[in-house]
Amino acid sequence: MLTSRSDEYDVIIGFNFGCSDYITKPFNEKILTARIKAAIIKACKDCHYCKKNEEIVKIGKLTIDFSRFEVSVKNKLIDLTPLEFKLLYFLTRNQNKVFTRPQLFRELYEDNDNRSDRAIDILVNRIRRKIGLYGNNVESIYGVGYSFKISREQEMENCRAM
């Protein structure tokens, strides 16, 4: 909010109505520009889409590059279908969190409810087979769903690689 009203009560009212910043006149243009840029960067970092698609995921020799839509193990490209890629990327971005089949189903298929939630089981089995040794990281949580678990050794390997 950019305003000439600088009373403490007005500032509190402004924040209570949802403004993310409150700047009073007179103001410095450079500071205003810097605050706007900071707000845009923060909004992008908090954005679900940007968070979801911002990085390359590396776990040991497994690399998932969202921008290229590529998965590789030991620098060898793995051929995944778009749904397999999306599921693997989602699970690896949310390592060690457990997701139910319906949660994964909604993440993959969004509004399409014409499929069985067992479609997730089929995708998981194909992913496990295709990514070889790292297939063991995709764990079945009995009666719940799936999780991508990484071992302490893999965590340490990732830390050394950074």
What pLDDT does residue 12 have? 87
62/131 Cα distance (integer angstroms):
8
Query: Do both 24 and 86 map to the same domain?
Result: no
DSSP character at residue 38: H
Query: Do both 15 and 41 map to the same domain?
Result: yes
What pLDDT does residue 38 have? 76
Q: What is the pLDDT of residues 120-160, one digit of tens each?
A: 899 999 999 999 989 999 999 998 999 999 876 766 665 55
Q: Provide the percentage of residues in the chain whose pLDDT is more than 70.
A: 80
Q: Buried b / exposed e across 113-125, counting CB within 10 Å, b at 16+?
A: eeeebeebeebbe
Compute the average pLDDT of residues 64-78: 91
Q: Which domain holds residue 151?
A: 56-161
138/31 Cα distance (integer angstroms):
48
**Domain count within the chain:** 2
Query: Do both 84 and 39 map to the same domain?
Result: no
What pLDDT does residue 20 have? 79
pTM: 0.62
Query: Do both 97 and 134 map to the same domain?
Result: yes
